[in-house]
Structures are given as C-alpha cells and as structure tokens.
C-alpha cells in the first residue's frame, strides 16, 4: 500500500490509548508492523504545550511509518496541532473520528464527528491545509452503518489520503462482531487506500478481511497486545526477538521518557496480556502486579 508516497508493507498497529506507547510501537515495528500509531492526543493539549501530550508523541528510530493520532473538532486547533514542529517526525497524522467514550463524544469529538460530516470535513480540510499527510480513523457510523461509504467519501473529498474503518458503530463500542460489509462498500466508493480494522488476530483473519473488503491493508489493535509476533506472522517473516527481549526493549524505551515508577505501572497492563493463556500465567501476572521495579519485571519476563 502506498499512502501519498509513504510505502507501507504489512499490517498496521491500530492506536490504543494506554498501550501504543513508544516502547510498544518500537517492538511492533521490529516485528514487522508496516506502520504504527500513537494513542490519540488532544489537538488543544498539544497547542497549549502540555508536557504529557508531548510525552505521548515521543518516538524512537525503530518506528516504521509513524503516525500521530490527534483528536478534536475545532478546525483552528486541529490546524495548529498539525503545524506544530513536533509533527515533522511523523509520516502521517491521523484524525480520530471513532472514539466512543462519553467524555469525548459529549464534546462533539471522536465518533461524534460521524454525526456531523460537514464539520468533520472542515476538520480534515484545516489539517490538510498545513501540507501534512492527513488520514482519518472512523467507525462505520454512530447509530447505524448506513452512511459509512458516504462518510468515507466525504473524508476523501476533504483531502484525507487514507482512512481506517473499524467495523463497528459507536453504539456497539467493542461489543458483537466487527462488520466488514460497510468497509467493503466504502472501498468500492473511494480511490484512497482504506484500511480494515476490527477483530483481526492472526494471518487468517487478516487475509479474510482483505479478501472480503478489498481493503488495501488491515490494522490490528487488541490482537497485538501480548502478541506483537502477529505482525511477523502476517508479514511472513521470522520473529526478530522473543517476548522477553520485546518486553526488555519496551521498558528501555519507556525509561527514556518516564520515571521508573510510571514505567512499572504502565508495563503491568502489558504483562497481563503477555501472561494470558500461558501455563502458570496467572501466577506470573500476580507477580508482575506486585513488582516495584523494572528489575523485578525483567526477572518475571524470563518466564514468559
């Protein structure tokens, strides 16, 4: 897939708040993810120079095709965020139009933009006017998927160079099965690359989604948690490291950004996924949850 000059091979790592930090993005890139995305950051927060927002946009040279995801519904702040020099290092800037969380929706942001396609277009146009490569990530709709293809077309018309569609409506949150039919309709209606997303956990799932929808690529979220090797599987390449090494790299990257206490806390969520389903996993998870240092976690990772 080529997104406006950016060549992307393999599955993409979907943005996940609290998970797709610079450490995990480094790991997934090395395993073969074609592009990796930060979690959503507030356009306003970025403009107001929030330190926390900048930390979320920390990157390492390991990242392939890095994408920064921003959210907001005010074209002024969206434009200003895209103009920020911190964005120079990102190949793509993605605008979030899928977040279902009430706090975001009630501000008219995230998936609320699905209900206001004119404003969504203004937001994209403002971002595109900065000369950056702008992509959108959306759901199939707010209440229903009926207007999915139209919405995607409107994003293309506003200047988006690719769009990721999560096969659920806002009302569905993460329930039920992802529906690829509206994604297929969107693919048929636009000429920009469409990236299919939702419930893809392995090579078979990726192949099915690609075949069914005709999408240019797939994005994987939860299926990569505790299993970054899924990108190697899909790319058909050898895994460059084992899970212990992946965890070690993940923590080393986080230590460049955060104090050890935060690194340990952030890593606990990942340990919950790495230990899931493995023999003795429950005990390892409890040990990880009781850890107080990176050294403790390194010791536990030896058994993963």
> Which residues of the chain form contacts with ligand FMN (CB under 6 A)?
14-19, 39-40, 69, 96, 98-99, 137, 166, 197-200, 220-223
Cβ closer to ligand FMN: 173 or 242? 173
Select 117 or 244, whichever has its Cβ closest to ligand FMN: 117
If residue 123 lies in a helix (H) or strand (E), which one and from where to where? helix 117-128
Return d(Cα 144, Cα 168) in angstroms, integer: 9
What's the helix, strand, coil split of the chain in %, to 5? 50, 15, 35
Query: By Cβ distance, which residue is nearest to ligand FMN?
Result: 221
Distance of closest approach, residue 51 Cβ to ligand FMN, in angstroms = 19
User: How far is residue 86's CA from residue 90's CA, in Å, rounded to a whole number?
Assistant: 8
- Taking alpha carbons only, the member of 121, 124, 53, 62 closest to residue 87 is 53
Choose between 97 and 304: whose C-beta lies nearer to ligand FMN: 97
Nearer Cβ to ligand FMN (40/91): 40
Q: How far is the CB of 279 from ligand FMN (least distance, A)?
A: 25
Shortest reach from residue 125's CB to ligand FMN, in Å? 20
Cβ-Cβ contacts under 8 Å for 88 (sequence gap 6 or more): none
Q: Annotated catalytic sites, by residue?
A: 99
Distance between CA 82 and CA 86 in Å, rounded? 9
The gap from C-alpha 113 to its chain's centroid, in whole angstroms, comes to 18
CB of 24 to ligand FMN, least distance (A): 12
Q: Rounded CA gap, 72 and 47, in Å?
A: 11
């Amino acid at each position: 897939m080529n997104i406006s000059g950016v060549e992307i091979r393999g599955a993409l790592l979907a943005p996940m708040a609290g998970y797709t930090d610079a450490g995990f993005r480094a790991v997934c890139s090395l395993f073969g993810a074609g592009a990796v995305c930060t979690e959503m950051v507030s356009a306003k927060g970025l403009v107001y120079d929030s330190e926390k927002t900048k930390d979320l946009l920390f990157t390492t040279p390991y990242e392939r095709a890095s994408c920064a995801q921003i959210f907001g519904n005010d074209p002024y702040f969206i434009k200003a965020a895209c103009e920020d020099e911190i964005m120079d290092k990102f190949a793509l800037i993605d605008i979030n139009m899928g977040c279902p969380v009430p706090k975001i929706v009630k501000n008219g942001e995230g998936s609320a933009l699905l209900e206001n396609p004119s404003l969504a277009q203004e937001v994209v146009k403002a971002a595109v006017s900065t000369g950056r490569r702008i992509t959108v990530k959306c759901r199939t709709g707010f209440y229903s998927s009926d207007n999915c293809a139209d919405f995607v077309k409107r994003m293309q018309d506003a200047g988006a160079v690719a769009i990721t569609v999560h096969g659920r409506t806002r009302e569905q949150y993460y329930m039920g099965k992802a529906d690829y039919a509206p994604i297929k309709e969107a693919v048929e209606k636009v000429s920009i690359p469409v990236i299919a997303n939702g419930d893809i956990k392995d090579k078979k799932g990726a192949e099915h989604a690609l075949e069914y929808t005709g999408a240019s690529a797939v994005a994987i979220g939860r299926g990569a948690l505790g299993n970054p090797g899924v990108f190697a599987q899909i790319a058909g390449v050898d895994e460059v490291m084992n899970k212990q090494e992946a965890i070690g790299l993940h923590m080393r990257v986080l230590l460049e950004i955060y104090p050890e206490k935060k690194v340990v806390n952030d890593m606990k969520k990942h340990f919950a996924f790495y230990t899931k389903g493995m023999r003795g996993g429950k005990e390892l998870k409890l040990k990880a949850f009781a850890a107080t240092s990176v050294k403790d976690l390194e010791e536990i990772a030896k058994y993963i």
